[in-house]
């Protein structure tokens, strides 16, 4: 019977892969090591499984490294699809979230949510987004998801404080 293989606990493969993409230094280091292995004679087709990318991408890294050095291994700006919202529209959206309430636009809540923002953008700019994309746009503009805490106007604050004090006393005994 063989030995049990080593396993990583507390992290999924996806979360570890996300760490590579979270910091430019990791990404450049990984790409540089691929270039190093090619310089030792490893074929790019054999490396594609190891680096979880195509042999063509590894070839591109090698050529960019030869032309530009380490800077050639960095991601170039402007990659990916352009936003359907213009810079002015994104500024308007940010000001809206910071300074205005959904109630001002006929919604029956004081909190901006993804679905409400989707409706607002559709009515103002005639652009339709899916729920996941609106959260990507918000994150790109410096906003983060925040879960609201319920407030119950009928709650008795004095009774809550007494309960908390009692709970603290019984838990420390």
Mean pLDDT by 10 residues, the chain (173 residues): 79 80 84 92 90 91 93 82 89 93 89 92 94 89 79 83 84 63
pTM of the complete model: 0.48
Give yes or no for a contact between 146 and 112, defined as CB atoms under 8 angstroms apart.
no
Q: What's the pLDDT score for residue 171?
A: 67
Token code pair at residue 83? 């936003």
* Full domain range(s) for residue 130: 87-140
Give yes or no for a contact between 35 and 65, defined as CB atoms under 8 angstroms apart.
yes
Q: What's the pLDDT score for residue 172?
A: 63
Q: What's the pLDDT score for residue 81?
A: 80
Domain count, the chain: 2
The answer to whether residue 57 is domain-embedded is yes
The answer to whether residue 19 is domain-embedded is yes
Looking at 40-113, list the stretches that DSSP marks H as alpha helix, in order from N- to C-terminal side.
44-51, 55-68, 87-99
Q: Is there a single domain that holds both residue 94 and residue 127?
A: yes
Q: How far apart are CA 102 and CA 113, in angstroms?
A: 9
């Amino acid at each position: 019977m063989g030995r049990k293989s080593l396993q990583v606990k507390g992290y999924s493969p996806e979360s570890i892969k996300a760490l590579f993409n979270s910091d430019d230094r990791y990404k450049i280091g990984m790409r540089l090591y691929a270039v190093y292995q090619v310089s030792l004679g490893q074929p790019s087709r054999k490396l594609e499984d190891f680096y979880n990318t195509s042999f063509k991408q590894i070839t591109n890294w090698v050529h960019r490294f030869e032309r530009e050095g380490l800077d050639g291994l960095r991601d170039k700006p402007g990659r990916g699809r352009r936003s359907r919202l213009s810079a002015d529209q994104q500024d308007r959206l940010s000001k809206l979230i910071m300074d205005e309430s959904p109630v001002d636009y006929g919604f029956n809540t004081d909190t901006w949510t993804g679905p409400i923002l989707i409706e607002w953008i559709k009515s103002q700019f005639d652009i339709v987004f899916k729920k996941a994309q609106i959260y990507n746009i918000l994150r790109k503009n410096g906003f983060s998801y925040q879960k609201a805490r319920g407030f119950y106007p009928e709650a008795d604050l004095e009774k809550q404080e007494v309960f908390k004090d009692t709970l603290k006393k019984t838990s420390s005994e």
